[in-house]
Amino acid sequence: MTPNVSTPIVSNDIKIAALLAATIASFFTPFMGSSVNIALPTIGLDFGADAIILNWVTNGFLLAAAIFAVPFGRVADIHGMKKIFTYGIILFTVASLLCALSPTTYTLIGSRILQGIGSAMIFVTGLAIISSVYPPHHRGKAIGINVAAVYVGLSFGPVLGGLMTQYFGWRSLFLLMIPFGLLVTAIVFWKLNDEWAASRGEKFDYVGSILYSLMLFLVMYGFSSLPQIDGWAMLILGIVGFVAFIRWELKAKSPVFNVRLFKNTAFTFSSLAALINYSATFAVTLLLSYYLQFIKGLEPQTAGLILVAQPIIMAITAPIAGRMSDRFDARLIATTGMATVTLALFTLTFIDGNTPLNDIILGLGVLGLGFGLFSSPNTNVIMGSVERRFYGVASATVSTMRLIGQTMSIGIATLVFSLFIGRVQLTPDQYPALLESIQLCFVVFTALCFIGVFVSWWRGERKDVENDAEGEPE
């Protein structure tokens, strides 16, 4: 292991600008996801698309973001985090316009894939920039604010998304992203004069990047295509590709992903815990959006108001949990959060056509509390467990675990829908099968999260790699 590296002194203006730019970006990307989920039934009616194709409006975005997260994390380490962050904002903004102009479901999915690539560039650099400018004793607070912005975006998504879908059409959701993108770009060019490239001069691992992208595509697309034969074939090829990727990375002089980081217990188990958590929770909004609008017959606006309970509690809890993780055992806080999420998912397994809306809101509130307690401390442990020169890769790992988890979550829902419903448009005749599918998904998610409780605890006590900088201003 190389010697510890102190965090350099950074002016408060740069810190505030970096946190503001990353936080705004962290708001509008999840806002896009949660608002699109609430709009999916309307999009399906507009294009006459079945539930399987509709899921790819979300899955295409997540798949692209996951595939490109690690390569762009490495590119950012070599060529500069601010540069990749800025390009990501621009691509995301242009792709949003293309989404709004999409004439068919397939062009919408294609534009969402471009959005996913831009999102990967944003997320792998935003968190890394924050970790670069804030010292360890303030980093948890900054990460907590950033994570809270994600949850605020998730909060506004169902409400504002439902309102806009109902009164202005689903295309207005994508048009709303354009001013946000322009604002972040202005902040970057106006205030962020520094650049962060801890691995400048090192070579980019093109072979490793191609192997990584192919492996991840085969695994994630194959999983979402189960139980079809081509799905199993892709999954097996993906596993073979994963083995080839690991072998190559262990030999590469400048690997796109330093797999030796996984020798670090805290890094490994924290990353796995994040993967499990997102796999068990991301599809909840999608499932309950279908439940509230199809089974309960609610309008998008009303459904959005109910779904907001979860992310509002997340947004309140995340900054507090982040600050607590600077002072107390992050493992205990995160594991408590994972256990709380498990409890909330278990209560949702009993959902049926007669479940009172108050019970749904309560379950979502408990879910939000658990996720808020888990996410900030867990992310703080991951970023604090690696050296500065691996911040881009660590940030990419956080994003990749989240995105793979989200894709697996949607993949599980898609698989269950395929088994119970099939490729047909959702009509009242399909509602009993839809309800059975939703119930089974919650059972699977509960089991996953229960395993996650033990994974979160087994990570061991947190040990930051770097020391605080002397004379760091408050």
Query: Mind listing the pLDDT tens digit for each residue in 140-149?
Result: 777 778 777 7
Q: How far is CA 94 from CA 82, 118, 160, in A?
A: 19, 9, 21
Return all residues near 267 (Cβ < 8 A) that are at least 6 apart: 261, 382, 385, 386, 394, 397
Query: Mind listing the pLDDT tens digit for each residue in 323-332?
Result: 787 777 778 8
Query: Mind listing the pLDDT tens digit for each residue in 409-443?
Result: 877 888 888 777 776 666 777 788 888 889 999 99
DSSP 179-208: HHHHHHHHHHHHH------TTTTPPP-HHH
Reported pTM: 0.71
* More confidently predicted of 250 and 339: 339
Range with lowest mean pLDDT among 22-26, 47-51, 414-418, 421-425: 421-425
Query: Mind listing the pLDDT tens digit for each residue in 208-230?
Result: 888 888 888 888 777 767 677 88
Which band of pLDDT confidence, cut at 50, 70 and 90, is reported for residue 464? low
Using the 8-state DSSP alphabet, how is residue 350 labeled?
A: T
Residue 9 has pLDDT above 70, yes or no: no
Q: What average pLDDT does range 190-215 have in this prediction? A: 77
The one-letter amino acid code at 43 reads I
Residue 72 has pLDDT above 60, yes or no: yes
Helix 391-420 to helix 105-133 angle, to the nearest 10 degrees?
150
Using the 8-state DSSP alphabet, how is residue 468 labeled?
A: P
Q: Which of 373, 454, 463 is nearest to 151 (CA)?
A: 373
Residue 462 has pLDDT above 60, yes or no: no
Residue 457 has pLDDT above 50, yes or no: yes
* More confidently predicted of 52 and 290: 290
